[in-house]
Structure 1
């Protein structure tokens, strides 16, 4: 790649920062999932707590995989001057995280009302 065709470093570094944000999100989701399972035994019932925790851990794994995939797609688009990748997978991921949050909130309310 010639110097004239080389991508702007600012865009490359911004893509790397976004990738690192995905990794922080993944780590946070995994830690939250483990915390729900291990550290809050009084939260809801055992199976609900385990379900929410496992879903959070799986979402963390998905975030890591989605982040690396997105980083590669954006890097390729920057290098080739192509269109940016679709945001649909990001929207699906955000919706899934929101659904888990709503479910956890509902479980909290039900657990509070029962106890």
Structure 2
């Protein structure tokens, strides 16, 4: 049976299914986060909401960028954790957590400024 991606499934031994399923649930949580950020970025720009246009557009772009980055985190995180589970290595950290936090704080500040300076 061929499983994707081979780079992950061709190494190590099969871990306890509970751990692989927990890893998959984490992947899906990151995907839900990505979808919410993408929808929020689109809605922010589409609805306007009385926010000053320059701040609103910048916040929308950053929210969409954060959504894309969350989807990348979902995939790379799943792959790195599955590899660690299969090889008995320590679990890796989420490499995009800090950039995502900075992006989200930036979005919040831009929206706040856009409301206060309208």
Superposed pair shares fold, TM > 0.5:
yes
Structure of greater relative contact order (alpha carbons < 8 Å, 6+ residues apart): 2
Q: Find the aligned partners of 2:98 and 2:56 in 1 and give their Cα distance.
A: 26
Q: Find the aligned partners of 2:51 and 2:84 in 1 and give their Cα distance.
A: 45
> Considering only aligned residues, what root-mean-square deviation do their CA atoms show, in Å?
1.8
Q: What do residues 4-52 of structure 1 show as CA deviations (whole Å, max 9, x unaligned)?
A: x4311111111101100100000000100100111125222x2221111
Partner of 1:19: 27
Q: How many residues in Structure 1 have an aligned counterpart in Structure 2?
A: 107
Runs of 4+ in structure 1 deviating by more than 6 angstroms, as ranges, are none
Structure 1 gaps of 5+ residues are none
Structure 2 gaps of 5+ residues are 1-8
TM (normalized to structure 2)? 0.80
The more displaced of 79-88 and 27-36 is: 79-88
Tell me how far 1:88 sits from its aligned partner.
4.7
TM (normalized to structure 1)? 0.82
Change (3 A) 1:58 1:89: closer
